[in-house]
Chain A
Amino acid sequence: MKDFIFLFRADYKDLGQASPEQMQARTQKWMDWVGSIAAQNKLSSRGNRLNPAGKVVKKGNVVTDGPFTEIKESLLGYIVVKAETIDEAVKLSEGCPILASDDTSVEVREFDVI
Chain B
Amino acid sequence: MRFAPTPFMEDQQLIPHLFRTECRKITAVLCKLFGIEHIEVAEDIASDTFLAATELWGIKGLPENPVAWLYTVAKNKAKNHLKRDAIFNEKIAAQLKHCSNSSEEIEIDLSSQNITDSQLQMMFAICHPAISSEAQIGLALRILCGFGIEEIADAFLTNKENINKRLFRAKEKLRAENITIEFPGADEINSRLESVLTTLYLLFNEGYYSLSHHAVLRKDLCAESMRLTHMLTENEQTNTTSVNALLALMSFQASRFDARFDLQGEMILYDDQDESLWNAELIAQGEHYMNLASTGDSLSKYHLEAGIAFWHTLKTDCIEKWESILQLYNHLLSLEYSPAAALNRTYAFSKARGKKEAIVEAEKLELNDHYLYQALLGELYSGVNNEKAIRHFKKALILSKSGAERALLERKIGKLETRI
- From A28-36, A69-77, A100-108, the one touching the partner chain is A28-36
Chain A 40-58, CB-CB to B under 8 Å as 1, else 0, gives 1101001000000000000
- B366/A35 in contact, CB under 8 A: no
Is A1 in the interface zone, CB < 8 Å from B? no
Which of B308-357 touch A at CB < 8 Å? Answer: 326-327, 329-331, 333-335, 337, 341-342, 345-346
Residues of A within 8 A of B333 (CB): 35, 38-39, 43
Q: How large is the interface on A (under 10, 10 to 19, 20 to 34, 35 or more residues)?
A: 10 to 19
- B329/A35 in contact, CB under 8 A: yes
- A35/B337 in contact, CB under 8 A: no
Assembled-state Cα–Cα distance A46/B326 (Å): 17
Residues of B within 8 A of A35 (CB): 326, 329-331, 333-334, 345
Residues of B within 8 A of A38 (CB): 330, 333-334, 337, 342
- A31/B331 in contact, CB under 8 A: yes
Residues of A within 8 A of B366 (CB): 40
- B327/A39 in contact, CB under 8 A: no
Q: How far is the CB of B203 from chain A (nearest CB, A)?
A: 26
- B342/A39 in contact, CB under 8 A: yes
Assembled-state Cα–Cα distance A41/B330 (Å): 12
Q: How far is the CB of B209 from chain A (nearest CB, A)?
A: 21
Assembled-state Cα–Cα distance A60/B245 (Å): 51
Decide yes or no: A36 and B361 within 8 Å by CB, A31-B327, A31-B330 being known contacts: yes
Residues of B within 8 A of A46 (CB): 334-335
Residues of B within 8 A of A34 (CB): 330, 334
Residues of A within 8 A of B326 (CB): 32, 35
Residues of A within 8 A of B345 (CB): 35, 39
- A43/B331 in contact, CB under 8 A: no
- B331/A39 in contact, CB under 8 A: no
User: Closest A-chain residue to B337, C-beta based?
Assistant: A41
Q: How far is the CB of B300 from chain A (nearest CB, A)?
A: 14
User: Closest A-chain residue to B330, C-beta based?
Assistant: A35
Chain B 137-170, CB-CB to A under 8 Å as 1, else 0, gives 0000000000000000000000000000000000
Decide yes or no: A39 and B365 within 8 Å by CB, A31-B327, A32-B330, A34-B330 being known contacts: yes
Is B401 in the interface zone, CB < 8 Å from A? no
Decide yes or no: A41 and B335 within 8 Å by CB, A34-B330, A35-B329, A35-B330 being known contacts: no
Residues of B within 8 A of A41 (CB): 337, 342
Assembled-state Cα–Cα distance A38/B361 (Å): 11
Q: How far is the CB of B262 from chain A (nearest CB, A)?
A: 32
Decide yes or no: A36 and B329 within 8 Å by CB, A41-B342, A43-B334 being known contacts: no
- B337/A43 in contact, CB under 8 A: yes
Assembled-state Cα–Cα distance A34/B342 (Å): 12
Decide yes or no: A40 and B327 within 8 Å by CB, A34-B334, A46-B334, A46-B335 being known contacts: no
Is B98 in the interface zone, CB < 8 Å from A? no
Residues of A within 8 A of B341 (CB): 39
User: Closest B-chain residue to A34, C-beta based?
Assistant: B334
Is B60 in the interface zone, CB < 8 Å from A? no
- B334/A28 in contact, CB under 8 A: no
Residues of A within 8 A of B411 (CB): none
- B337/A36 in contact, CB under 8 A: no
Is B364 in the interface zone, CB < 8 Å from A? yes
Residues of B within 8 A of A39 (CB): 333, 337, 341-342, 345-346, 361, 364-365
User: Closest A-chain residue to B338, C-beta based?
Assistant: A41
Instruction: Give 11 new A-B contacts, CB below 8 A, not counting A35-B345, A36-B361.
Output: A31-B327, A31-B334, A32-B330, A34-B330, A35-B326, A38-B333, A39-B361, A39-B364, A43-B333, A43-B334, A46-B335
Where the two chains meet, the residues of A that have a C-beta atom closer than 8 Å to any C-beta of B are: 28, 31-32, 34-36, 38-41, 43, 46
In the assembled complex, 5 residue pairs joining A and B whose CB atoms fall closer than 8 Å, in A order, are: A31-B331, A34-B330, A35-B326, A38-B330, A41-B342
Shortest Cβ-Cβ A-B pairs, 9 listed:
A35-B330, A38-B333, A39-B342, A31-B330, A46-B334, A41-B337, A38-B334, A39-B345, A40-B364
